[in-house]
Amino acid sequence: MIEMQEEKEDLQLNMAPMIDMIFLLIIFFLTATTFTEKEREQDVLLPSNRNPGSLSRNMDNNIIINVKQDGSIFVLGEKISAEQLVGMLRQRKTELEKKRVKLKVQIRPDKRVIYGGVAAALEAAERAGIAKPHLISKTLELD
């Protein structure tokens, strides 16, 4: 009788596709966070709150208004007046209403700002027909 020896091969996992996917995910998340940082002005200190609103990732129907310490209003990194803000909000609202999407306005005031700066942004939103603008704050950490 003839005996045949079977050679067993070691199974190996091909790691190259998995490493490629990890690099793609890393690149995706790095670029995604870069886009959301555009609206977060570094010199705006948010007031604390126990139940803060979250920043939505859907930027198409979002406008974020930053109110700095001196009361100046910034949108998309550019300083604008209250009148310009009203025009911008009205224009964006009518564009979104055609698509049947509601405009969400988020106001990020500096915690050191005098209330007049926040009031100007709120008044501009009201004049543009925005029913419920949101004031954004950071989470208050309890001990």
pLDDT tens-place string over residues 50-71: 655 544 445 567 888 888 888 8
Which residue did the predictor score with more confidence, 45 or 41? 45
Do the domain assignments include residue 84? yes
| Number of domains forming the structure of the chain | 1
Do the domain assignments include residue 54? yes
Q: What angle do CA 63, 68, 73 make, to 5 degrees?
A: 45
As a whole-number percent, the residues of the chain with pLDDT over 90 amount to: 11
pLDDT the model gives residue 22: 95
pLDDT the model gives residue 84: 92
8 A C-beta contact, residue 117 and residue 72: yes
Task: Give the Cα separation of 29 and 67 in Å (integer).
Answer: 28
Do the domain assignments include residue 118? yes
Give the residue-averaged pLDDT of 27-49.
67
Do the domain assignments include residue 35? no
Q: Has residue 104 got a pLDDT over 80? A: yes
Do the domain assignments include residue 76? yes
Q: How many CA atoms lie within 13 A of 70 on its CB side?
A: 4
pLDDT tier for residue 12 given thresholds of 50, 70 and 90 = confident
pLDDT the model gives residue 42: 54
Do the domain assignments include residue 14? no
In which domain, by residue range, is 96 found?
48-139
Residue 117: give its domain's CATH number: 3.30.420.270
